[in-house]
Chains A and B, each alone.
Chain A
């Protein structure tokens, strides 16, 4: 088991090397010279050249990449040209905010979608079922920006119940968390529902009922664990995505997380920072998936790392 986990983790490292190359190249493919951006418009060609040398962007890409990776392995993600601070410092100061938002958003959407999906699946064809499927359709097709703005309009501008931006109190977190979890709730509701419908038709459910186990316990324990399996997979990829920050949501709510940092870094053409964010986000994403894979083997004994 442990051996298998290690093998899986090693595969993850390969993925990350790939990610680092892509992140590195993508940023450099974008037009614009960062050395010029660092200097005033009046700078001479010589000054620019000197800046390029200082930043290392005059060297061939391959050398630049190797230097970058060498530093990354030493724990140095480089310095942001724009902020003149180390990238790791910048990223890790933003990470807790994003993690808090992602965690709360995920929790909120699971607390909502699991019961709703279960009831909809058990009472297939009922009013609740129709309602839940309507919600799932709306939820999956609604844009984050629109939902965020609507919430701000209703709860911040008109009702004045919640602050429209910033961070600090629990109240600040409610709206962005709803927006971040909304689409996922819709997806999860749909998955729990269809999982429940499938599982309830299985022979082993009839067999469990034939043992005298009450309907309630069959639903909440014996069918639930089976219906949960597909949901765990999507939770894994979603947690990864949420943890790497949502640019749109964090910008709409001025939430000081990774997402808004990314947006700013792109505006500033802050090469070093963008590529470090990409690398860290990808790492978080991949690690989350790894954790889910491990978790999966505990929920479903039939699955092993093969």
Chain B
């Protein structure tokens, strides 16, 4: 499969005042054309930062890419001019944001928030953009008469549909979905996911699905990357990683899912707190929480090894 997006050895820091948070510490990630990749991790693992780096939209004067390369469709994203980047954002790469309650502009109609993408990228006039927006809204299940409504007149689920309609307006090659259903209740989650699945197939869009819900990954994605402390700790096909997890963090995540069959027992959890990016532990950043931690884990950053075909793990003492 041809690569669409390739992230190589990416390092990102946030600098506020005198403190430095090392949000991303050497991420390598590849998404093929038409492929759906799930990016999993706890809050603060660097998932959203990865997504914003791809769009080169890290908060100005706060977020810095200190090292690494991001290639989209054969071109280096970080070397593009503002104008080139503007041409790609929203058309070739688009993003659905985590919180539909805050990601729509409250003083513009929902219709306008989709039309502005069409006007900008497809150079449509107002009338054409409106006609196109009506089609997009129909696709996500919003009737035409609601286009002149404002975001506050919509429920969370409906707002996320608007976000998705805007993201798909220009049939992007890569859709980044940053926890698109986290802020929604379960039934609405199911609807939105079903819809995204259909649309992804229909447009053969590549998908970068950011979530901390492993169920969503199993449902939507072919590949999965597990992120911890700003690094990918395990990567492979969904089947391989979920059935034969090797990293203790992945194993912990999978064990933390309630099971339908078997005896009911107390749900397992991973002890400790997520790694603090302002003060990352040395060696493997997961070591303070790992039951199988060795001397080596505390001192040396684990190398990434291929344990089976296409299955990569970064752990000194992985499960065998």
Given A203-B97, A302-B150, A302-B152, A212 contacting B104 (CB threshold 8 A): no
For B95, what are the chain A residues with a Cβ–Cβ distance below 8 Å? 207, 210
Q: How far is the CB of A123 from chain B (nearest CB, A)?
A: 10
Contact at B86–A225, with CB atoms within 8 Å?
A: no
Q: A204-B105, A226-B107, A302-B106 are in contact. Are A212 and B57 (CB under 8 A)?
A: no
Using Cβ atoms and an 8 Å threshold, which residues of chain A touch B91? 212
28 A-B contact pairs sorted by A residue (CB < 8 Å): A202-B102, A203-B98, A203-B102, A203-B103, A204-B103, A204-B104, A205-B105, A206-B52, A206-B57, A207-B97, A207-B103, A207-B163, A209-B57, A210-B95, A210-B97, A211-B89, A211-B94, A211-B117, A211-B166, A212-B86, A212-B87, A212-B117, A212-B120, A222-B105, A226-B107, A299-B107, A301-B107, A301-B150
**Interface set, chain A 278-306, CB cutoff 8 A to B:** 299-302
Asked if B90 is an interface residue, CB under 8 A from chain A, the answer is yes
- Cα separation A247 to B95 with both chains bound (whole Å): 57
Q: Is B298 an interface residue (CB 8 A)?
A: no
Q: For chains A and B in complex, what number of residue pairs have CB atoms within 8 angstroms?
A: 75
**B82 within 8 Å of A by Cβ?**
yes
A7 at the interface (CB under 8 A from B): no
Task: Assess the A213–B82 pair: CB atoms within 8 A.
Answer: no
B88 lies within 8 A of chain A by Cβ? yes
Over the window 59-93 of chain B, the binary record of Cβ atoms lying under 8 Å from chain A Cβ atoms (1 yes, 0 no) is 00000000000000000000000100011111100
Which A residues are CB-close (under 8 A) to B163? 207
CA distance A250 to B55 in the complex (A): 56
Question: What is the CB-to-nearest-CB distance from A170 to chain B, in angstroms, rounded to a whole number?
Answer: 36
A65 to chain B, nearest CB (A): 46
B116 touches A211 (CB 8 A): yes
Is A215 engaged at the interface, CB distance under 8 Å to the other chain? yes
Measured CB to CB, the closest approach of chain B to A270, in angstroms, equals 48
Task: Specify the chain A residue showing the minimal Cβ separation from B58.
Answer: A206
Which A residues between 28 and 87 are near B, CB-CB below 8 angstroms?
A: none
Distance from B238 Cβ to chain A, minimum over Cβ atoms (Å): 27
Contacts of B90 in A (CB 8 A): 210-213
B184-195: CB near A (< 8 Å → 1, else 0) gives 000000000000
Give the chain A neighbours of B88 by CB distance below 8 A: 212
Question: In residues 104-162 of chain B, which contact A (Cβ within 8 Å)?
Answer: 104-108, 116-117, 120-121, 150, 152
Name the residue of chain B whose CB is nearest to the CB of A222. Answer: B105
Q: How large is the interface on B (under 10, 10 to 19, 20 to 34, 35 or more residues)?
A: 20 to 34
Whole-angstrom CA separation of A209 from B97 in the bound complex = 12
Closest partner residue, chain B, to A124 (CB atom): B61
New A-B pairs, 8, CB < 8 Å, besides A209-B89, A210-B55, A214-B86: A207-B104, A210-B89, A210-B95, A211-B89, A211-B116, A212-B117, A226-B107, A302-B152
Contact of B99 with A213 in the complex, beta carbons under 8 Å: no
Are A208 and B105 in contact, with the CB atoms below 8 A? yes
A298 to chain B, nearest CB (A): 10
Give the CA-CA distance A204 to B99 in the complex, in Å.
10
A139 to chain B, nearest CB (A): 28
A: residues with CB less than 8 A from B are 202-215, 222, 225-226, 229, 299-302
Whether A203 contacts B99 in the complex (CB less than 8 A), given A212-B120, A212-B121, A214-B86, comes out as yes
Rounded to whole angstroms, the CA-CA distance of A32 and B31 in the bound complex is: 89
Measured between beta carbons, the chain A residues less than 8 angstroms from B104 are 204, 207
A202 contacts across to B, CB distance below 8 A: 102
State which of B57, B82, B106, B150 has its C-beta within 8 Å of the C-beta of A210: B57
CB distance from A136 to the nearest CB of B (A): 22
Contact B94 A222 (CB under 8 A): no
CB-based contact A225/B107 at 8 Å: yes
CA–CA, A204 and B166, complex, Å: 12
Chain B residues, CB < 8 A from A215: 82
**Residue of A203, A214, A225 contacting most chain B CB atoms (<10 Å):** A203
| Contact partners of B99 in chain A: CB under 8 A | 203
**Distance A234 CA – B55 CA, assembled complex (angstroms):** 38
| CB-based contact B106/A300 at 8 Å | yes
B120 and A211 form a contact (CB under 8 A): yes
Most interface-central of A208, A212, A213, A214 (chain B CB within 10 A): A212
Write out the residue numbers on chain A whose beta carbons fall within 8 Å of the beta carbon of B52. 206
If A212-B117, A213-B120 touch, whether A300 touches B86 (CB-CB below 8 Å) is: no
B107 adjacent to A213 (CB under 8 Å): no
* Docked complex Cα distance between A206 and B182 (Å): 18
Bound complex: CA A203 to CA B82 (Å): 20
In the bound complex, what is the Cα–Cα distance between A225 and B91 (angstroms)?
25
Contacts of A300 in B (CB 8 A): 106-107
A147 and B93 alpha carbons, distance in the complex (Å): 55
Give the nearest-CB partner of A204 in chain B.
Answer: B105
Please report the C-alpha to C-alpha distance between residue A208 and residue B152 in the assembled complex, in whole angstroms: 17
Question: Which residues of chain A come closer than 8 Å to B103, judged between CB atoms?
Answer: 203-204, 206-207
What residues of chain A lie closer than 8 Å to B121, measured between beta carbons? 212
- Are A213 and B116 CB-contacts (below 8 A) given A204-B104, A204-B105, A207-B103? yes
**Bound CA span A222–B112, Å:** 11
